[in-house]
Amino acid sequence: MRYTLKTLLLFSLAWLAGVCAYAAELSPPAPCRGVDESAALGVSEVVELALCGNPQTREVWASARYQEAQLAIARAAYRPSVNASASVSRAITDREGSVSPVDSKSASLTLSYLLYDFGARGATLENSRQLLAAAIATRDSTVQTLFLSAVQAFYQVQAAEATLASAKQAERSSLESLKAATLRYTVGSGAPADKLQAQTAYSQASYTRIQAEGTLRSAQGNLANVLGWDANHPVNLVASSTIVLPADFERDIAELIVDARVRRPDLLAAQAQVKAAEANVDAVRAADMPTLTLGSSASNSRSDVLTAANTYNLSLSLNVPLYSGGAATNRIYAAQAQVDSKLAQRDKLQRQIALDVWNAYQNLQTATQSMRSSADLVNSAEQSERVASGRYQAGVGSLLDVLVAQSSLSSARQQRVQASYNWNIYRATLAQATGNLDATLLSSNSAEKSAEKSQP
């Protein structure tokens, strides 16, 4: 078979066009849609901003695109390689004062294609496929981790806001008690000790309110950081809503563990790493096997003293490695050790997943019971505070009863806020532990009724 220079050039251009078309598929994904940062943000908007703006997301996307490019490089081994070269030279010969320059020009095109390598290309391609699968699973795992961090930061701010509202209400109640004790002391019907106790209670309530303000500012800074903003960036959230516990969210713990081992992206990544290591063993073994390569070249040369000449060449090369000083055997041992290491990491993660699901499930059960009991606790504390304040205003009760009732009410409200925060967080944590943390948790947020405002 004879190859003309024009034929080989057209072939190489067509092959290059195919490579460029494939590379176009590696372009990064379209940017996330915009969210109005000035509007009050719900948990869905907070999660979206975090996934779009946090540098962790860009990092894992870049890692996945890197592995995608590595897969394209591995696929390129199944395609021929084409190289072109050209040269222009001038030779000057000086013979007894007579200078005779000779100009020479040459151009060549060389094609090389690996025909057989005992599976080395296939193993390398499989290794790249599994590494890409691991990168994609790692990306999904990072997204879920960031998802959970955004949900935690959102509810942490809402809990801090509710805590501050409760502290302000407790401060107002303490101030009213102080005014009542001062009035009774002024008209001579109250003891000085009552006024001092009321003053102490009011100072303590003011201190608690100041601490709550600081906690809220810290939570807002943490949320801004999760969103990829500076900590001083203002964040406006929607008002917190009353939690309505669903009746059918509880599932068998064994079923949850099985589901988690199927869905968890970090376990999928670990399994892909095992398969990639196994493929690498095959690639290392095949790397020291013979290779058969087809080569073809076409060249054109001309000079001032010679006529133009076209040269065509077709070759078949067999390369057989004979001895490498034991390096081949040790490379296989090293690759197999990597497989054993990846298997151990996968098994360790399987045990950790079972523990994660167990802890998240038990924490959610505890938070559910706490939610149910904290509602009754707040109701009874409010009634006790109203009765104690009424008796004191009527002159038949003691200030100590009022202060104790107010302290109990403030503590009950704090427990209610903490229970609400814990329930939201542990619900998301269980979803993350089972690999089910996605937009469904937000869009089907049956635990929140925005029409009902939560009590501080």
Please report, to the nearest 10 degrees, the dihedral formed by the alpha carbons of residues 258, 260, 262, 263 taken in order.
160
What is the rounded average pLDDT of the residues 211-217? Answer: 92
The per-residue DSSP string of 83-94 comes to EEEEEEEEEEEE
- Residue 215 contacts residue 160 (beta carbons within 8 Å): yes
3-class SS at 35?
A: coil
The token duo for 21 is: 């078309």
Lowest-pLDDT range, 43-57, 92-106, 152-166, 433-447? Answer: 433-447
Q: What pLDDT sits at residue 310?
A: 82
Question: Could you report the per-residue pLDDT of 219-263, keeping only the tens digit for each?
Answer: 999 998 988 888 888 888 887 766 666 555 556 788 888 888 888
What is the amino acid identity at position 222?
N
Give the tokens for residue 313: 């060449």
Mean pLDDT for 334-352 is 93
pTM of the prediction? 0.69
Q: What is the pLDDT of residues 372-403, one digit of tens each?
A: 888 888 888 888 888 888 887 777 778 788 88
Mean pLDDT over 187-191 rounds to 72
Q: What is the pLDDT of residues 270-299, one digit of tens each?
A: 999 999 999 999 999 888 888 888 888 888
> Residue ranges per domain, the chain?
117-288+326-453
d(CA 123, CA 326): 22
Alpha helices (H) in 187-264, listed in sequence order: 192-226, 253-263
pLDDT greater than 80 at residue 98: no
Count other Cβ atoms within 10 Å, centred on residue 189. Answer: 10
Average pLDDT, the chain: 80
Domain 117-288+326-453: state its class: mainly alpha
Rounded Cα–Cα distance for residues 224 and 57 (Å): 16
Section 329-356 average pLDDT: 92
Q: Are 384 and 402 in contact (CB under 8 A)?
A: no
The pLDDT tens digits of the residues spanning 11-48 come to 433 433 443 444 444 444 444 556 666 678 888 888 88
Query: If DSSP codes are grouped into helix, strand and coil, which group holds residue 307?
Result: coil
